């Protein structure tokens, strides 16, 4: 299927690795002109070269000034903007009793406010596009929260509600707003989470992943490309009637309706 993304102008945040890079790669593979950012300048430059990005810049999206600057750079480099993919590193993990005010503050700025600010900064260009697409990367815990991800799940739920609200507001401008809520996808963050769980159980990381895979209905972990390809579809003209949704991609783990 031709997704009709050739020469579309896309900005992808948190794209130096993991799911952000997977989204940027899938968009670039479909012919989109992609501008990427992440905190690590060297890693961002390498990722940009690997996917053939049209531009890149180092930015910490938890900082308001960085968001304003990097979105402006992307719009200037691309000559406008058709697609915005919001994404940032994962908030602190752990049970509620171990989460201090600092953890909540970090999560609020990194996860919720980064998405709010990126969307706000990109809106004039997305409205001018006439076919704007906003995709937020969240997590499947927004549907079925997990004990040791309470901070992440609570703040990502805020992104989900915000996106649902503005989807109606922006629809008359031809802009769709959707969330991808990934489940167990093999990324550095997932490896770190399960390494900690393995340590607490006194088993190897390999054994922990083997046990975990057995709890997933499809009996395997997801691949970053599977998230990237969904992102590309959500940005396509074919998905123009799909908005305000939180799509869980988790191999069937989540039991919510």
CATH of the domain at 242: 3.40.50.720
Which tokens belong to 152?
């992440």
| CA 198/CA 210 separation, integer angstroms | 11
Q: Which residues pair with 152 in a beta bridge?
A: none
Per-residue pLDDT of 30-68, as tens digits, reads 999 999 999 999 999 999 999 999 999 999 999 999 999
Return all residues near 42 (Cβ < 8 A) that are at least 6 apart. Answer: none
Provide the pLDDT confidence category of residue 196 given band limits of 50, 70 and 90: confident
| Cα(93)–Cα(40) distance, integer angstroms | 21
Please tell me whether residues 143 and 60 are part of one structural domain: yes
Conformation bin of residue 187: beta by default, left when phi > 0, alpha when psi is -120 to 50: beta
Same domain, 213 and 98: no
Same domain assignment for residues 167 and 217: no
- Residues 105-158 have pLDDT tens digits of 999 999 999 999 999 999 999 999 999 999 999 999 999 898 788 999 999 999
For residue 4, is it within any domain? no
16-34 residue pLDDT tens:
999 999 999 999 999 999 9
Same domain, 63 and 77: yes
**Cα distances (angstroms) measured from residue 221 to each of 20, 64, 141, 225, 253:** 18, 35, 16, 12, 11
**Rounded Cα gap, residues 249 and 186, in angstroms:** 12
Given a contact cutoff of 8 angstroms between Cβ atoms, the answer to whether 36 and 46 are in contact is: no
Domain presence at residue 1: no
* Single pTM value for the model: 0.95
Going by their DSSP bridges, the two strands 246-249 and 83-86 should be labelled as unpaired
**Are 105 and 215 found together in one domain?**
no
Which residue segment(s) compose the domain that 208 sits in?
186-221
Are 134 and 239 contained in the same domain?
yes
- Pick from 20, 131, 134, 33: which is nearest to 84 by CA? 134
Do residues 211 and 168 both lie within one domain?
A: no
Note the pLDDT of residue 79.
Answer: 98
Domain count, the chain: 2
Q: Count CB atoms within 10 A of the CB of residue 98.
A: 12
> Is there a single domain that holds both residue 85 and residue 204?
no
70 and 85 inside one domain: yes
If asked whether residues 66 and 155 sit together in one domain, one would say yes
Scanning the structure block, which residue is given the tokens 């159980």?
A: 201
What integer pLDDT is reported at residue 252 of this predicted model? 95
Query: Do 58 and 129 belong together in one domain?
Result: yes
C-alpha span between 11 and 74 (Å, rounded) = 7
Flag whether 177 is in a domain. yes
């Amino acid at each position: 299927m031709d997704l009709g993304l050739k020469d579309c102008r896309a900005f992808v945040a948190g794209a130096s690795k993991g799911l952000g890079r997977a989204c940027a790669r899938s968009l670039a593979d479909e012919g989109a002109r992609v501008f990427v950012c992440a905190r690590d300048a060297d890693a961002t430059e390498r990722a940009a070269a690997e996917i053939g990005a049209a531009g890149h810049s180092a930015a910490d999206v938890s900082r308001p000034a960085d968001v304003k600057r990097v979105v402006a750079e992307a719009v200037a480099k691309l000559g406008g903007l058709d697609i915005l993919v919001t994404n940032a590193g994962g908030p602190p993990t752990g049970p509620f009793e171990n989460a201090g005010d600092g953890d909540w503050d970090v999560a609020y700025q990194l996860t919720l406010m980064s998405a709010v600010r990126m969307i706000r900064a990109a809106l004039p260009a997305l409205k001018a596009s006439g076919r704007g697409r906003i995709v937020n990367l969240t997590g499947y815990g927004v549907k079925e929260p997990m004990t040791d991800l309470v901070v992440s799940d609570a703040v990502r739920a805020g992104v989900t509600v915000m996106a649902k609200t503005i989807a109606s507001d922006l629809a008359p401008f031809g802009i769709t707003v959707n969330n991808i809520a990934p489940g167990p996808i093999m990324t550095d963050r997932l490896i770190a989470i399960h390494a900690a769980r393995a340590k607490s159980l006194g088993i190897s990381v390999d054994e922990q992943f083997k046990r975990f895979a057995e709890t997933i209905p499809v009996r395997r972990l997801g691949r970053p490309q599977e998230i990237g390809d969904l992102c590309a579809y959500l940005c396509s003209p074919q998905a123009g009637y799909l908005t305000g949704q939180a799509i869980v991609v988790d191999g069937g783990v989540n039991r919510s309706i």
